[in-house]
Amino acid sequence: MSDQGPQAAGEPGSLQLDHAEFAEGQPQRCAVCSQALAGSYYEVAGRVCCAACHQRLVGAFERRPGPAGFLRAAGAGLAAAVAGAGIYFGVSALTGYHFGLISILVGFLVGKAVHWGCGGHGGWSYQALAVALTYLAIVGTYVPAVYAAYQRVDAPSALLIAATVPLRGGVGILGLIVIAVGLYEAWQLNRRPRLQASGPHALTPAAWRR
Amino acid sequence: MTCACGTEVAPALLACPSCHALVHAAVLKGLASSAEAAGRRGDRVEELANWRQALELLPPGSRQATQVGARVAALSEAAAMGRPPATGAVAAAGGEAGDGARRRSWSLRGGLATGLAFLATKAKLLLLGLTKAGTLLSMLLTVGVYWTIFGWWFAVLVVLSIYVHEMGHVAALRRFGIQASAPMFVPGLGALIRLRQHPANPREDARIGLAGPIWGLGAAAFAYAGFLLGWGPLWAAVARFGAWVNLFNLLPVWQLDGGRAFRALSRRQRLAAAAVLAGLWALSREGLLLLLLLAAAVQAFRRDAPETDDPIALGQYAGLAAVLTLLCQLHVPLGGPR
């Protein structure tokens, strides 16, 4: 591979940079099943693999979680939304400060929970779910203020009124920006991931006959 | 792309799977040459930046990636600890990371000259940061938003103090040769910098994270000095607000500066930091410290705490928490700015 002897670690000064050198020998084996590659190979997320493993990985990636997955994502997201609202009240009680920035944490928690619930598949329906639950958690923190302002109001009406607070300018421009960032966080975390895969690519006969 | 050996090389691969020819061989040779030249003239920052770029173009697991990774780690460790790297031909002169060793040999006159040069370098960096269109425009937008809420002068001074905090991160990133975006301001959130390369180790992460509050503390102290010099109560308000924002950033969670600092702290150091926060809260009754204390206590019981101590990170964290808490106690005279 190289006519130069190995260099001491930490001294890259005289490295040969024409060919990569691997300690374990032949990387022209499938990175997943270690089978020797013959004739062609596929590339999945920067790794070389055989046709069977490529098919299995792409198939697993494209499989949708279905209604059960959506329900699990909704349940996990709702739990995270409740936890997020709880953190807001807990921090307020602990420190005496009302941190609007917790909206971003709520978006992160809900986004991660939905992402977990749907097995990382993502997509617009999970993004919408995460955004809705994040918004619910954020406006849920306004409910005590709504109760204080409106003496006789039931819980659903209080939540409904709270949901319109940001839209009626009740949180100011900074509050709107922070809420928007929280919602964006939840949306981003549930984007449908793209699997980087290509192939088949031809292997030179000399390589796979070795 | 087809390799000289006849194999089709997939676009994402860094080496031919058959003959192992490096896809970016020409670029790698250029980077290696630049890194070696920088090492010979003692420019450790440039050397580190070049090796970092080279590392991204080498296949993981290859001998070359291992060696370049080891060199990056050695240079990074030296920069984090303020001493020359353990291996490699890096001269003792030059490089910001050598500041710690030089500091010990300061004579009074030399120290003054070096101190002035240091300030001039930092001032130059602060001015250079304003030449980035994204930074400047987002700063102006943020000033505009804050102006509507807090008034003109407070908005300008607060945004400038956040800018100084961010440039602390930029200075540390440059010291470690890490590529990153220019600071981008977001009203209500402060500002953010996107790293294009990952820190090589937790110590590096901690230095980069704590550089922001260190510079931010400088901005708050400057504002306080302005108040003491009779510039008006607005400066006391800016000092106190800036100190509070920087203290908030010491929250040891997620991507906040305190979170980065805690990645380098061993379990007992995390407990020590929690003890410092508890002591500061007992003295000041600043509610924010309870939040920091809670997060620090949780971090102390995480399993991913490193085995080895990082006394510099602990010292910086505890010192920052103490001084910022003190500044948060500032009395701001009412009656509006003069």
Encode pLDDT of A41-69 as tens digits: 888 888 888 888 988 888 888 888 888 98
Burial (CB count within 10 angstroms: exposed 0-12, middle 13-18, buried 19+), residue B131? exposed
The residue that leads in pLDDT, A13 or B330, is: B330
For the beta carbon of residue B162, count every other beta carbon within 10 angstroms. 24
**Tokens 């106690």 found at:** B329
Rg (CA), chain A: 26
User: Closest to B32 (Cβ–Cβ): which among A15, A23, A201?
Assistant: A15
As a whole number, mean pLDDT of residues B157-178 equals 93
Both B252 and B307 in a single domain? yes
Burial (CB count within 10 angstroms: exposed 0-12, middle 13-18, buried 19+), residue B127? exposed
Could you tell me if residue B9 is inside a domain? no
Q: Examine the pLDDT at B94 and tell me if it is beyond 60.
A: no
pLDDT score, position A190 = 95
**How many structural domains compose chain B?**
2
CB pair distance less than 8 Å for B188 and A178:
yes
Highest mean pLDDT among B148-152, B304-308, B317-321: B317-321
As a whole number, mean pLDDT of residues B58-70 equals 89
| Average pLDDT along chain B | 86
Both B89 and B127 in a single domain? no
CB pair distance less than 8 Å for A19 and B22:
yes
Could you tell me if residue B5 is inside a domain? no
What are the C-alpha distances in Å from B225 to residues A101, B158, B220, B235, B316? 30, 15, 9, 8, 22
The residue that leads in pLDDT, A58 or A151, is: A58
Encode pLDDT of B118-161 as tens digits: 777 777 888 887 888 889 999 999 999 999 888 999 999 999 99
ipTM for the predicted complex comes to 0.72
Per-residue pLDDT band at B115 (split at 50, 70, 90): low
Could you tell me if residue B11 is inside a domain? no
- Indicate which of B1, B5, B7 best probes the interface with A, i.e. most A CBs within 10 Å of its own CB: B7
Residues of chain A positioned with their CB less than 8 A from the CB of B254? 108
Share of chain B above pLDDT 90, in %: 57
Both B189 and B294 in a single domain? yes
pLDDT score, position B98 = 42
pLDDT score, position B93 = 32
As a whole number, mean pLDDT of residues B221-244 equals 94
Both B177 and B44 in a single domain? no
Residues of chain B numbered 270-309 and touching chain A (CB < 8 Å): 287-288, 290-291, 294
pLDDT score, position A84 = 93
pLDDT score, position B9 = 86
As a whole number, mean pLDDT of residues A106-120 equals 94
As a whole number, mean pLDDT of residues A24-32 equals 70
Q: Are β-strands A40-44 and A47-49 bridged in parallel, bridged antiparallel, or unpaired?
A: antiparallel
Both B122 and B216 in a single domain? yes
pLDDT score, position B95 = 38
Residue where one domain finishes, among candidates B73, B101, B129: B101
For the beta carbon of residue A172, count every other beta carbon within 10 angstroms. 15
CB pair distance less than 8 Å for B188 and A28:
no
Could you tell me if residue B44 is inside a domain? yes
Range of the domain at B152: 113-328
Could you tell me if residue B337 is inside a domain? no
Which has the minimum average pLDDT: A67-76, A175-184, B18-27?
B18-27
Could you tell me if residue B4 is inside a domain? no
8 Å CB contact between B166 and B212: yes
Which has the minimum average pLDDT: B112-126, B209-223, B271-285?
B112-126
User: Closest to A20 (Cβ–Cβ): which among B22, B149, B254?
Assistant: B22
Could you tell me if residue B37 is inside a domain? yes
- d(CA B220, CA B229) in angstroms, rounded, equals 14
As a whole number, mean pLDDT of residues B173-193 equals 90
Per-residue pLDDT band at B99 (split at 50, 70, 90): very low
- d(CA B213, CA B190) in angstroms, rounded, equals 13
pLDDT score, position B313 = 96
Per-residue pLDDT band at B107 (split at 50, 70, 90): low
pLDDT score, position B87 = 52
Closest CA to A107 of A93, A90, A127: A127
Both B80 and B228 in a single domain? no
Shortest CA gap A178–chain B (Å): 7
Residues of chain B numbered 176-215 and touching chain A (CB < 8 Å): 186-189
For the beta carbon of residue B303, count every other beta carbon within 10 angstroms. 5
pTM confidence score: 0.80
Q: What is the DSSP letter of B201?
A: S
Q: Is B64 on the interface with A (CB under 8 A)?
A: yes
Residues of chain A positioned with their CB less than 8 A from the CB of B184? none
Shortest CA gap B231–chain A (Å): 29
